[in-house]
Amino acid sequence: MITRGRTPIYLGRGLHTCYAIFIKKHKLPPRPKLSIGIESDLEEKFLHGGRGPGGQKINKCNSKVQLKHKPSGIVVECQETRSRDQNRKIAREKLALQIARWENGWKMLARERALHEWEIQGKRSKERKSHDKHEKHREERKIERLRALEEEEKLLQGILK
Amino acid sequence: MPRIRPSTIWEAHRLHKALPLLLPECRAIPIALQELQWIRNELGDKKYKIWKSCRLRYHRYPLQYILGTQPFGPLEIDCRPGVLIPRWETEEWALDLAHRLPPDKNLQVLDLCTGTGCIPLLIKRLRPQFAVGAIECSPVAVKLASQNAEKLGIHIDICTEDVLKCPPLPHKVDFITCNPPYISRSSFVGDTAKSVQLFEPKLALIGSLEFYENLCDFWIHQIEAFAYEVGTLSQCRYVESRIAADPALREQWRVGTKKDSNNKERVVYGYKTISAKGIDWHTLFRGFGGPTC
């Protein structure tokens, strides 16, 4: 039982020491940003639910922003907030992430990998903690049993004498 | 308008007990969920508050009056019953226009029928060295506009006057913006959303040509350029024909129309070809709109 519980953990520790030590939540690689000259490659559309007279006649609260990056054909949309300004900002953040992925050949980005690693690290440390706790308890129980045995033996010897 | 299917109502009920109340106004579950999220974000997670706002929404009370604000460009404008809620169309053209105005000149801008004060506040925020004024006839709106100016820390002069009575101006004005009431009485009944009909002030909604007539009769002689929001093409045509009919004005003025991103005529604008202030209005308005067609 002990060997089965231990080996993968030690193996894991041994393999990933470099990650496990270095990744910290506040020191991740930065979020991808849109480069300054890219604005000319973007096509921005504001969708407000199409038909109808508009103007003072309707009172729409949602504003959807659709952003297209022409060279790659990536389209992102955003309507999370009521403010068009805010939606535009969020759409640009989303697009920056997608473009970075696209430039990376749809592989995981350094930040994403780090985040993933960070999550695994957290899980592993939790596992380790619980493992150590159980180990400690087992030790204690063993000692307790040994002591009980000794006492019994003493008692037996006393009776035999 | 198609009815809401009972299955949709049940599905909404499964997601959140108050969600069916939002359906008559939102029509679809994703939009209703979004609205619920906004209500939660801005009013907190108190159950009775959510239920109260959803019940108001069921009676078609505007969301902006419930939440108390409406984003307008970079600004957060306070809204209150009795004052027209700023529309996204207005936001669109006002932002475009404000970015076109020359930041280094000292322009005198005046906004008529200002309501919440959204347009002058936006212009003053983006072009701080302009002198920006506003005129409004409703005392409730004047109070709200001053409150908005104070909250945002932007200084504009607001006075209570009736635009149609041609009030005397304290100083010269170069540029006028205006979002006048432009819904005709007949389309107000048939074509206008219920929530607007029931809860927004008719004073700020119903009108036909009186403000455009007033522009051509009075204001145009005191200014160098104007931008008026419109509801229909006929209002643009009216302004154009009035300017074309006057030989003196025809010489000096150019008129155009801007469409909104829904491809509806939204703004009629005009400018003098020769500016006393040395502003090249022609290049300023290039790409803003096009000739009326």
Sequence-distant (≥ 6) Cβ neighbours of residue B258 within 8 angstroms: B93, B96, B265, B266, B267, B268, B269, B288, B289, B290
Q: What is the pLDDT of residue A15?
A: 53
CA distance to partner chain A, nearest, from residue B179 (Å): 9
Q: What is the pLDDT of residue B251?
A: 92
Give the orientation angle of helix B210-217 with respect to helix B233-245, to 10 degrees.
20
Is B292's pLDDT higher than 90? no
Q: What is the pLDDT of residue A1?
A: 34
Is B106's pLDDT higher than 60? yes
Q: What is the pLDDT of residue A5?
A: 36
Using beta carbons and an 8 Å cutoff, which residues of B are at the interface with A?
31, 34-35, 38, 62-64, 70-71, 73-74, 76, 84-85, 87-89, 91-92, 181-183, 187, 191-193, 195-196, 200, 204-205, 229, 231, 260-262, 264, 266
B233 touches B265 (CB < 8 A): yes
Please tell us whether the domain made up of B69-285 is placed in CATH 3.40.50.150: yes
What is the rounded average pLDDT for all residues in chain B?
A: 93
Written as one letter, the residue type at A33 is: K
Is B115's pLDDT higher than 70? yes
Q: What is the pLDDT of residue A49?
A: 65
Q: Sheet containing B253-259: give its strands across.
A: B157-160, B131-136, B108-112, B175-178, B225-229, B265-272, B253-259
Q: What is the pLDDT of residue B171?
A: 83
Q: How far apart are CA B75 and CA B69, in angstroms?
A: 10
Q: What is the pLDDT of residue A6?
A: 38
CB pairs under 8 A between A and B: 82
Of residues B291 and B55, more confidently modeled: B55
Digitized pLDDT (tens) for each residue of chain A, 161 residues in all: 333 333 344 444 555 544 445 677 778 888 888 888 888 889 888 887 666 788 899 888 888 899 999 988 999 999 889 998 899 999 999 999 999 888 888 888 888 888 888 898 889 999 999 999 999 999 999 999 999 999 999 999 999 88
Q: How far apart are CA B82 and CA B202, in angstroms?
A: 9
CA–CA distances in Å: residue B97 to residues B123, B176, B233, B241, B270:
9, 12, 20, 24, 13
- Residue-wise pLDDT for B196-245, tens only, equals 999 999 999 999 899 999 999 999 999 999 999 999 999 999 999 999 99
Q: What is the pLDDT of residue A22?
A: 61
ipTM, two decimals, is 0.87
Q: How far apart are CA B43 and CA B53, in angstroms?
A: 9
SS (H, E, C) chain B: CCCCCHHHHHHHHHHCCCHHHHHHHHCCHHHHHHHHHHHHHHHCCCHHHHHHHHHHHHCCCCHHHHHCEEEECCEEEECCCCCCCCCHHHHHHHHHHHHHCCCCCCCEEEEECCCCCHHHHHHHHHCCCCEEEEEECCHHHHHHHHHHHHHHCCCCEEEECCHHHCCCCCCCCCEEEECCCCECHHHHHHCCCHHHHHHCCHHHCECCCHHHHHHHHCHHHHCCEEEEECCCHHHHHHHHHHHHHCHHHHHHEEEEEEECCCCCEEEEEEEECCCCCCCCHHHHCCCCCECCC
Q: Please give the residue of chain B at the shortest CA–CA distance from A57.
A: B192
Give the pTM. Answer: 0.82
The structural domains of chain B, with segments of one domain joined by +, span: 6-59, 69-285
Set of chain B residues whose Cβ sits within 8 Å of the Cβ of A61? 35, 38, 63-64, 70
Q: What is the pLDDT of residue A21?
A: 54
- Residue-wise pLDDT for B4-17, tens only, equals 999 999 999 999 99
CB contact under 8 A, B35 and A55: no
Is B257's pLDDT higher than 70? yes
The CATH number that domain A36-106 falls under is: 3.30.160.20
Q: What is the pLDDT of residue A23?
A: 75
Mean pLDDT of the B192-196 span: 92
Of residues B130 and A38, more confidently modeled: B130
